[in-house]
Structure 1
Amino acid sequence: MGALAPRQRGCREQGQGASAAPGGQGDTELSDLVPPAPSRREEERRHKVSDQKPGGEVASDLTGEYGNIAILLVLYTLQGIPMGLSAVLPLILKERHVSFSDIGTFSLNSYPFSLKLFWAPVVDAAYIARVGRRKSWMVPAQLLIGILMIGLSSSLDSWLYVEEPRVGTLTCMFFLLYLLCATQDIAVDGWALTMLRKENVGYAATCNSIGQTIGHAMGFTGFMVLEQFGLITLPTFMFMCGVLFLIVTVAIAVFKTEKPVPAQDEPDDIVSAYRDMFRLFQLRAVRWLFLVLLTWKMAFAVTDSLAPLKFQENGIPKEHMAYMTSLLMPVYILLPVALARWTAGSAPFDLALKAYQLRVLVVPAIAILAYYTPKSVDPIPWGFYAAIMTVSLISAVASQAMFVSSMAFFAQVSDPAMGGTYMTLLNTMCNLGGMWPGTVTMNLVDGLSCQSESCTVKSDGFYTMAVVAFHVGVLWYVVAAPTAKWLQHLKPAEWRAHAANSVSAMACV
């Protein structure tokens, strides 16, 4: 708007400074009537102002960014494939009559995403300049993932498809796989902050969500469908995914150039990086956000971790659940795009809080459906599958809205100077908040269940935990939602590491 605004008149244009002819007459010249052509710098300034939103933010413009977005989508898709494969294993283990507690043990394999904070400063600070700050870690991590998946494919049959599956060995191997994926995630999250222009950083969350969804679908639904039709086995599928990792990684390493690190964003040494990371914990905003993220998914372990296994235990084939998941894929992929207009603004966390309420209501709905699963009817009525699909759709929309909005919020408040570490810190908080409730709930279910004839009162720990989870979700929203709303309206300076330095300096004085 600035370029089209009427030019304000100065004193000169009102006659006080008109040029005078030698005879004393105030003749107005043509140059006084025609405004001078703006300089190139002025044009650029005006265009920049015209592209700003009312709050001063530069409007998002994806011109020239589509190639970068495509690369981020590919990288996040690769990251989602091992996640999808790890989601297949609990269903296979349940088929082989493994207990909920043992499956809870296997869930420990995904904890590297909640522990990556411990090595994130190393990934952020140490790099080979000739290779690139992020590629120095992303490329080796992805190559090792491919090699490990190819190696696992040769031993999977003897560890999984036996009378007593080797849960401990499988947990260790997938833990290592997740460790490498977490390292790749640190590098890609940091690269997204510099690969995209500042006004488009919010789209990194969209790429993250869509890419991981596609990758998870490839690893979970893709395999289950192919296996159902007898087209592939799990070892063969894992081998093919390993080869895919190697091909894509080599292509990006060769053809994608990473921008040099600006002098002002040059990372400190590793010791300083760890010191900066711990200084972030001195920020009031970060400490409160940690409490919010650590507790906000306590209510969802029943629906996210237990419900699929309970439906399977009640007679629904795992292949049918894979088919239902595949029907939801368009929602998982397209929803982040539809939500981008809300997550790219100045208050992206508002969407997460609205979705939270909807997701809490899904908990009792899932428990009711599990309780009324028609165990004695074969085949299971289509109406029942329709009910599961409806509840699953609501849960998927709420879950994706929470994920995308939180990722956009993290990208918005992160300090680019330590983007990889900062994003990893916030993602670690979020991942930890989603991990521990599932592990704890899995172990509690067996302890709260009593189904034998010797039980005075027969009980199923799944339904007990569903009741507890619903009330915990309601309580969290009443107590913690106001804090979450307050956090996103803090000034950017309150999220910067130098703010912690100022606090430390004042304390010393």
Structure 2
Amino acid sequence: MTSPLRFITFSRTTLVLLLLGFSSGLPLALTSGTLQAWMTVENIDLKTIGFFSMVGQAYVFKFLWAPMMDRYSLPFTGRRRGWLAACQLLLIVLIAMMATVNPNSGLLLLALLAVAVAFCSASQDIVFDAWKTDVLSAQERGNGAALTVLGYRLAMLVSGGIALWLADRYIGWHNVYFLMAGLMSLGLLGTLLAKEPEQTIAAPLSLRHAVVDPLKDFFTRNNTWLMITLIIFYKLGDAFAGALSTSFLIRGLGFSAGDVGLVNKSLGLVATIIGALYGGALMRKWSLYKALMIFGIAQALSNLAYWLLTVIPSHLWSMGSAVFIENLCGGMGTAAAVALLMSLCNRRFSATQFALLSALSAMGRVYVGPIAGWLVESWHWSGFYAFTVLASLPGLLLLRAAKTSLLKLADTPHFTPRCHYAVAYSLTTKGFLLGALLATLGLITMLITYLCNLPELSLTEPLLRFGVIVAVIATVVGVTLDILSREKAA
């Protein structure tokens, strides 16, 4: 078998992508899985631990402050690298501060620090994604996405599984967080080695332009809503399959937690890295559309490996095979999906537009959990994993519908403006932004009332639900308008 590393050209840019990918992935587990484990060991109640998952909302709503990072530059190291260095320095300090807090006596302070870490980490992602979009050519994006996934996954292994092992066996939780703060310095090294784009890209003239112009540029393109739904649905089946995979292997099949941790985390990580690297290599030869379609079909069919586990006797080798196949194909799909996001960004507004698009792509991963649990209770594991294959079909159908637009992206860096139904499109865009704003206000209100121990407001849940409904309706209307516009143009 040919090594996937053969397809990587080792260079300064390769090293930077690995280091910044590592720096991007390291803080995630420190505010989610690793922090939950620490709180569990300290006997914090489950309701509080569950609510701590809300700190990760910064990764979904990072597009709200991305315009500021497009508009303004810090007075050192360049437009992108200045923000990168600032975010990384803050992360080093904040993670070290988390190491000094006892969860039992300083829970509120720990929550505030976790929110601050998630905010700075999401901000670092904004600038890193913008830097990749600005620096990498269309031919380099597949390998760039693969290298980013490699660094990101290695960091998640370090701040997740290895951090838990070190905390439990050797140095304790406080010293583990001090160690993770020190490892963030690798990101600073990547920032120092990073180069600014060869072509100077003018920043927006004002903060208003930084907010309005990226949205106007994106939402006035041909097939915008088709692309939005494609981004949301492309990895939806994969997100469903992974949402409860650990619970499935332990409760559904009866494997021990140790075996599942070894196979699902370690082998799954290796498979994802190999998939991302091979996916990036193949994308050097294939068009973006071809890669998205083949990898999309592969990641849909790979879910059948989990379904097969529900109908055959359970063995360690069969679990390992299923985990490897599913993560291998998922890694390929991830490399293609990241390249798609980069190709849809105008380099003048790359920070804001990539933040918006990556937030849309994260919606499936973030919100399928409760739905997955309900489906398992209703259909059992075999029915659920058969459903995950069907859940991949809308993304593939949307991809086929977007074929013409995606092939045009390969021929020209310019985006085709729409020329039909101007009023209807304008109302649809405003409705979508209104829904997103209402949902954001609902989440922020929920977080503030909990952290400050205030009575829950009666409007919080309806505000969140109504915002999501409005955004979904606007998206459906937008896709319909895209289809009607294409038929009218034909």
Q: TM-score, normalised by structure 2?
A: 0.71
Deviation at residue 117 of structure 1 after TM alignment:
1.3
Please state if 1:422 is matched with 2:359.
no
Deviation at residue 252 of structure 1 after TM alignment:
5.0
CA 1:174–1:419: 2 relative to 1, 3 Å: same
Q: Take 1:291 and 1:478, find their aligned partners in 2: how far apart are those partners?
A: 11
Question: Which secondary structure does the structure 1 equivalent of 2:287 belong to?
Answer: coil
The answer (yes or no) to whether the contact 1:283–1:494 under 8 Å persists in 2 is no
2:143 to 203, 215, 218: 203
Deviation at residue 118 of structure 1 after TM alignment:
1.2
1:113 to 40, 59, 72: 59
In the TM superposition, 1:331-410 aligns within 5 A as 331-345=271-285, 347-363=287-303, 365-366=305-306, 369=309, 384-410=315-341
Q: Take 1:385 and 1:242, find their aligned partners in 2: how far apart are those partners?
A: 36
Deviation at residue 222 of structure 1 after TM alignment:
1.9
Structure 2: give runs of 5+ residues left out of the alignment: 1-6, 427-490
1:272 to 196, 201, 209: 209
For the pair shown, the structure with the greater C-alpha radius of gyration is 1
Q: Take 1:129 and 1:305, find their aligned partners in 2: how far apart are those partners?
A: 43
Deviation at residue 345 of structure 1 after TM alignment:
4.7
CA 1:72–1:398: 2 relative to 1, 3 Å: same
1:473 alignment partner in structure 2: 392
CA 1:491–1:310: 2 relative to 1, 3 Å: closer
Instruction: Name the stretch that deviates more: 68-77 or 406-415.
Output: 406-415
Q: Take 1:122 and 1:397, find their aligned partners in 2: how far apart are those partners?
A: 37
Q: Take 1:219 and 1:300, find their aligned partners in 2: how far apart are those partners?
A: 23
Deviation at residue 147 of structure 1 after TM alignment:
1.8
CA 1:351–1:425: 2 relative to 1, 3 Å: same
1:288 alignment partner in structure 2: 226
2:133 alignment partner in structure 1: 193
Deviation at residue 359 of structure 1 after TM alignment:
3.0
In the TM superposition, 1:113-192 aligns within 5 A as 113-155=59-101, 157-158=103-104, 174-192=114-132
The answer (yes or no) to whether the contact 1:106–1:170 under 8 Å persists in 2 is no
Q: Take 1:104 and 1:311, find their aligned partners in 2: how far apart are those partners?
A: 21
Q: Take 2:34 and 2:345, find their aligned partners in 1: how far apart are those partners?
A: 34
Q: Take 1:465 and 1:106, find their aligned partners in 2: how far apart are those partners?
A: 27
1:66 alignment partner in structure 2: 11
Deviation at residue 90 of structure 1 after TM alignment:
5.9
Output the amino acid matched with 1:482.
R
2:160 alignment partner in structure 1: 220
The answer (yes or no) to whether the contact 1:348–1:405 under 8 Å persists in 2 is yes
Deviation at residue 500 of structure 1 after TM alignment:
6.5
CA 1:152–1:89: 2 relative to 1, 3 Å: closer
Question: Which secondary structure does the structure 1 equivalent of 2:223 belong to?
Answer: helix
Structure 1: give runs of 5+ residues left out of the alignment: 1-60, 161-165, 374-382, 450-458
Please state if 1:482 is matched with 2:400.
yes
1:307 alignment partner in structure 2: 245
Deviation at residue 370 of structure 1 after TM alignment:
6.3
RMSD: 4.0
Question: Which secondary structure does the structure 2 equivalent of 1:73 belong to?
Answer: helix
CA 1:497–1:159: 2 relative to 1, 3 Å: farther
2:483 alignment partner in structure 1: none
Deviation at residue 495 of structure 1 after TM alignment:
7.0
2:262 to 323, 347, 353: 323
Output the amino acid matched with 1:213.
R
Deviation at residue 200 of structure 1 after TM alignment:
3.0
Deviation at residue 467 of structure 1 after TM alignment:
5.0
Please state if 1:83 is matched with 2:83.
no
2:362 to 431, 434, 440: 431
Q: Take 2:119 and 2:196, find their aligned partners in 1: how far apart are those partners?
A: 26
Q: How many residues align?
A: 414
CA 1:248–1:300: 2 relative to 1, 3 Å: closer
Output the amino acid matched with 1:499.
P
The structure whose residues are more often helix, as a share, is 2
CA 1:204–1:440: 2 relative to 1, 3 Å: same
Q: Take 1:367 and 1:117, find their aligned partners in 2: how far apart are those partners?
A: 37
The answer (yes or no) to whether the contact 1:289–1:487 under 8 Å persists in 2 is no
Offset from partner CA, 1:298-320 (integer Å, 9 cap, x none): 33344212121343446544443
The answer (yes or no) to whether the contact 2:288–2:410 under 8 Å persists in 1 is no
The answer (yes or no) to whether the contact 1:73–1:208 under 8 Å persists in 2 is yes
Q: Take 1:441 and 1:102, find their aligned partners in 2: how far apart are those partners?
A: 22
Give % identity: 16
Offset from partner CA, 1:225-253 (integer Å, 9 cap, x none): 4456x1243432222101221x3355456
